[in-house]
Structure 1
Amino acid sequence: MPTIERPDPPYVQIAKHIQGEILAGHLKDGDPVPSARKIMSTWNVAMATAAKALATLRADGLIRSKPGVGSVVQSKGSLHHSARDRVVSIHRTGKIYPPGHYAKIRSAELVPAPEMVADALGIEAGAPAVRRQRTTFTAEDTPVSTSVSWFTSEFARQAPLLLETGRIVQGTAKYVEERTGHAVAATYVQHAAGLASEEEAGELGIDVSSAVLMSRNRFLDAEGVVIEYGESTALPGHWVFYEYTNEER
């Protein structure tokens, strides 16, 4: 059934804009954010709307009040850029990670696909698939997440850098798009709390069975072809942000 799309309320649009600046690294930890009066002037909105936008960011844990300054960004150590976030970031800013963050590719190889991976990629269990493992670090060299990306062997033939441990400068998603023509059009994400395995604990520098955030991601093109299936593990206390719209039917 067709639905009427309605724009977000003004305060949500303002909050999303500032949130995007923080996630993209344009506003860094400790940087001041526009005051309610400045937002009111820039966006031509009422003071109540400007105040509500700041209250939304404060409730999301993205900003805090600082005496004598106003509201400042509090993102250091609290944000986790998921695989989905990196895809959005590369298209929005041309950058994969926030300033200072980087990833180390631990392995890149062709291995038999486990059953769950095979189901996600739409191939036979045991068929060869690309397994690409990485760990992401902050500017202070602190690991924040470790992940594994899976691709079909067909993509490996068209995009051979998937099987190399060197950094793909433009990001994996953009590289695959350039080499195969398959662009990410939709992302399906699952999250769950879990306990770190021995391998994950080693990568993240935590004790085995420590609490972690686990994610599964499927990236599809416009035709519904699964480009990538990923599994990631992140430290607790690192927020992932998603936006939802409730529509009247």
Structure 2
Amino acid sequence: MPSGPRGVRWRPVANATGRKGVAVPDLQRVLPKYLQIANHLRDQILRGDLRPGAEVPSERTLAVDWKVSRPTATKALEALRVQGLIESRQGSGSYVVDQMGVHRRARERYGRGRETGAIYPPNEWARIVAAEIVAAPEHVEAALGGDVPRVIRRHRITHGDDGPVEVSTSWISAALADVAPRLLQTERIREGTLAYLASVTGLRARLARDRVTARLATDTEAADLELGPGPHAVLVVRHVVCTEANQPLEFVEAVYPPESWTFEQEYPVTS
């Protein structure tokens, strides 16, 4: 049985309409059932699988698919309403709201890749504009653990419905070029760089860490993101992926345009 995001186990079910092949996670005891359902739908929204305006499953459908009571399903949808992710329309159902500035973090893309085999939702696509071996910039060599004088540089521009939504550069040790030749091609690696590396090298990602900052866009970034005359504030995420041996495998610098990103965090508050 395949694994889903956050170590969840998946199972096929038939919903209330009788359609088959719907995959939902097995419920866990760690979180309340309604939160597990809400988190599953939230991940689909953040990944772009459920786009603004899309109808989310009804309380009845959720109750059948997840084998829970109607009040539990109702509570799950209410949790999403409180988070501002969905809205109810009288006599119609619940729909994903237009989320201004939802940033698709690497975690959401990894989860989507595991589920669907593709890391981008239908309304996003990436164009690789450079794939080459270069001397490693000092900060890139440091991020990859040092002693990595030459690296593979893959530079991409990710587009959405209304234009560029992200500019990113992946850096990987040039020592992997011979066994992973697709890294030096400008064709997209549909399954994602990490899945490809795992298939040809056996090196598997174990953990990732992100460092988030904000600064003014460079002239090149402003041009890639089609921002026009500046200055423009951009979000910069430096993303390091490590192997099971805790060795850095990939370093990614991603830049996001203004008014197109937000971050959310939930944590307990004690009095």
- Look up the equivalent residue of 1:189 and give its one-letter code: D
CA gap 1:33/1:241 in 2 versus in 1, 3 angstroms: farther
In the TM superposition, residue 41 of structure 1 has moved relative to its aligned partner by 5.4
In structure 1, how many angstroms separate the alpha carbons of the residues matched to 2:131 and 2:251? 15
In structure 2, how many angstroms separate the alpha carbons of the residues matched to 1:240 and 1:45? 34
- What SS class does the counterpart of residue 145 from structure 1 fall into? strand
Match of 1:11 in 2: 34
Work out whether residues 59 and 70 of structure 2, in 8 Å CA contact, stay in contact via their aligned partners in 1. Answer: no
Match of 1:215 in 2: 237
Q: TM-score, normalised by structure 1?
A: 0.83
Q: Is 1:98 matched with 2:131?
A: no
In structure 1, how many angstroms separate the alpha carbons of the residues matched to 2:257 and 2:91? 33
In structure 1, how many angstroms separate the alpha carbons of the residues matched to 2:209 and 2:63? 36
- CA deviation map 1:182-222 (0-9, x unaligned): 11111111212322111111111114331222101011111
Query: In the TM superposition, what are the counterparts of 1:180-219 in structure 2 within 5 Å?
Result: 180-206=201-227, 207-219=229-241
In structure 2, how many angstroms separate the alpha carbons of the residues matched to 1:79 and 1:52? 23
Match of 2:186 among 142, 147, 165: 165
In structure 1, how many angstroms separate the alpha carbons of the residues matched to 2:211 and 2:159? 22
- Structure 1: runs of 5 or more not aligned: none
In structure 2, how many angstroms separate the alpha carbons of the residues matched to 1:64 and 1:194? 34
- Look up the equivalent residue of 2:222 and give its one-letter code: A
Match of 1:136 in 2: 158
Q: Is 1:89 matched with 2:109?
A: no
Q: TM-score, normalised by structure 2?
A: 0.77
Q: Is 1:228 matched with 2:232?
A: no
In structure 1, how many angstroms separate the alpha carbons of the residues matched to 2:216 and 2:89? 36
Please give the root-mean-square deviation of Cα atoms over the aligned residues, in Å. 2.7
Q: Percent identity?
A: 38
In structure 2, how many angstroms separate the alpha carbons of the residues matched to 1:92 and 1:205? 32
- Look up the equivalent residue of 2:185 and give its one-letter code: E
- What SS class does the counterpart of residue 215 from structure 1 fall into? strand
Query: In the TM superposition, what are the counterparts of 1:147-166 in structure 2 within 5 Å?
Result: 147-166=168-187
Work out whether residues 111 and 128 of structure 1, in 8 Å CA contact, stay in contact via their aligned partners in 2. Answer: yes
**Aligned residue-pair number:** 239
- What SS class does the counterpart of residue 177 from structure 2 fall into? helix
Q: Is 1:63 matched with 2:92?
A: no
In structure 2, how many angstroms separate the alpha carbons of the residues matched to 1:68 and 1:239? 32
Work out whether residues 43 and 108 of structure 2, in 8 Å CA contact, stay in contact via their aligned partners in 1. Answer: no
Stretch deviating more after TM superposition (9-18 or 30-39) = 30-39
In the TM superposition, residue 176 of structure 1 has moved relative to its aligned partner by 1.1
In the TM superposition, residue 76 of structure 1 has moved relative to its aligned partner by 6.4
CA gap 1:84/1:158 in 2 versus in 1, 3 angstroms: farther
Q: Is 1:108 matched with 2:126?
A: no
In the TM superposition, residue 180 of structure 1 has moved relative to its aligned partner by 1.0
- Look up the equivalent residue of 1:198 and give its one-letter code: D
Work out whether residues 213 and 233 of structure 1, in 8 Å CA contact, stay in contact via their aligned partners in 2. Answer: yes
Work out whether residues 11 and 50 of structure 1, in 8 Å CA contact, stay in contact via their aligned partners in 2. Answer: yes
Which structure has more relative contact order (CA 8 Å, sep 6+)? It is 1
